[in-house]
Amino acid sequence: MLAEIDPFYAMEINRLAHRLTGKIVIHMEYGQPSTGAPKAAIACAHQVLDSDGMGYWESRALQEGLAAHYRRCYGLTIAPERFILTCGASPALVLALSAFFAPGDRIALARPGYVAYRNVLKALHLVPVEIGCGPETRYQLAASHIEMLEPAPQGVIVASPANPTGTIIPDAELQRIADVCRARGCMVISDEIYHGLTYTGPAATMLAFDPNAFVIGSFSKYFSMVAWRLGWLLAPEDKAERARAFCGNMFLTAPSLSQHAGLEALEATDELEAHVDVYRTNRDLLLKALPRFGLDRIAPPDGAFYLYVDVGHLTDDSLAFCKQMLMDTGVAAAPGIDFDPVDGRHFIRFSFAVSTAETEDAIARLQPWFAARTKP
Ligand SMILES: Cc1ncc(COP(=O)(O)O)c(C=O)c1O
């Protein structure tokens, strides 16, 4: 049985953006930092290229560095070998789902949510149980959603801060989710890829509430190393060995060069916090400007670098809307159908991981466009 995998429509917008002539495009369609890797990471990579043959390798120093990072950020003591180093969060998700679930298992997740969750689940012959989450829970899963599912799912994916909304699940709700999952025998996979990128207070790790949760992390977002393909699966103590065995068979090891550079990135706090300051400024500018364009149905993002905006008063077709907006204004955004096949036709997602000058330019271009817009 071949699973139906939906395309990533933001890529269609990106391709269209690259075909546009005569317009400088502001790329707000992809969730990727426009800044490069930290300076020390790049310097380290140059040095490694000149001096190291590089081969299959799992860096103990990086595992220890990540353990220190968790101690510093969350006050948790974690054995370094529980970090399985992967080529980003994407393989870490595949790893957790393929090593610990069986075909046909039901996995609950929020809708809207990151497009790959649904598609990876389908590709692995797992069953996505999508839970429509609206403004009342700031588009996030709540324990009550999981409580109501019959039969209980085998797994639950939580993401806080989330893509596409940037909203954070409050600590008390994370605790309730952990309790319900424990009581109902569901394993929790917590995608914490946007940790570090927060504006309203730090995001708690699911591990603080459920020591048996699988946690997914990455160097792609806060550490600004998206194309270096480096991340981790933090597995429960009794499951790390199995996860590592699966990882070796499916992916071998993460790039050696990136592992060396990643270790340096863990220490580049001043540089990385300066990026967060830029995102915070961009977020605030957009949150102030968009309501002036009639776009006021937004859950203000607590983290990540996204604004998920309800444009239902203007369109029933978010893909066509994003294409038109791009062609008319040169501002590229992602259509909501990437994140929500049911209600996403009424939403678009802006990524504000661009410069502040680009954010200001985008606002200036969008203002007259939205002012002239009514639903066809
Ligand atoms: C929520 C979420 N999880 C995982 C990923 C995959 O990230 P990576 O580049 O680490 O594979 C992304 C990428 O945008 C994401 O938004």
Among 117, 27, 45, smallest CA distance to 264 is for: 45
313 — pLDDT class (breaks 50, 70, 90): very high
Evaluate if residue 54 carries a pLDDT over 90. no
Question: What residues contact residue 75 under an 8 Å CB cut-off, 6+ apart?
Answer: none
- Give the pLDDT confidence of 165-207 residue by residue, as tens digits: 999 999 999 999 999 999 999 999 999 999 999 999 999 999 9
Q: Which residue of 30, 121, 193 sits with most ligand 1 atoms within 8 Å of its CB, as the best mutation to test the pocket? A: 193
Q: Give residues (CB < 6 A) around ligand 1.
A: 31, 88-90, 114, 159, 163, 191, 193, 218, 220, 226, 231
CA 190 – CA 168 distance, rounded (Å)? 12
Provide the greatest CA pair distance for the chain: 61
Distance 278 CA to ligand 1 centre (A): 21
CA 205 – CA 209 distance, rounded (Å)? 8
- Give the pLDDT confidence of 83-105 residue by residue, as tens digits: 999 999 999 999 999 999 999 99
What is the average per-residue pLDDT within 248-266? 96
Q: Report which residue type is found at 250.
A: M
Sign of CA dihedral 362, 367, 369, 375: positive
Contacts 24+ apart (CB under 8 A), 70-76: 70/205, 70/207, 70/234, 73/195, 73/196, 73/202, 73/205, 74/204, 74/205, 74/207, 74/208, 76/205, 76/207, 76/208
Chain-wide mean pLDDT for the chain?
95
Question: What residues contact residue 339 under an 8 Å CB cut-off, 6+ apart?
Answer: 111, 112, 113, 114, 115, 163, 164, 308, 347, 349
1 — pLDDT class (breaks 50, 70, 90): low
2 — pLDDT class (breaks 50, 70, 90): low
Return the percentage of the chain with pLDDT > 70, whole number.
Answer: 99
Distance 89 CA to ligand 1 centre (A): 6
pLDDT for the residue numbered 8: 87
What is the average per-residue pLDDT within 71-87? 97
CA 66 – CA 60 distance, rounded (Å)? 10
What are the counts of helices (DSSP H) followed by strands (DSSP E) for the chain?
A: 12, 11
CA 288 – CA 351 distance, rounded (Å)? 16
Measured from the CA of 304, which atom of ligand 1 is nearest?
A: 16
Sign of CA dihedral 259, 239, 146, 76: negative
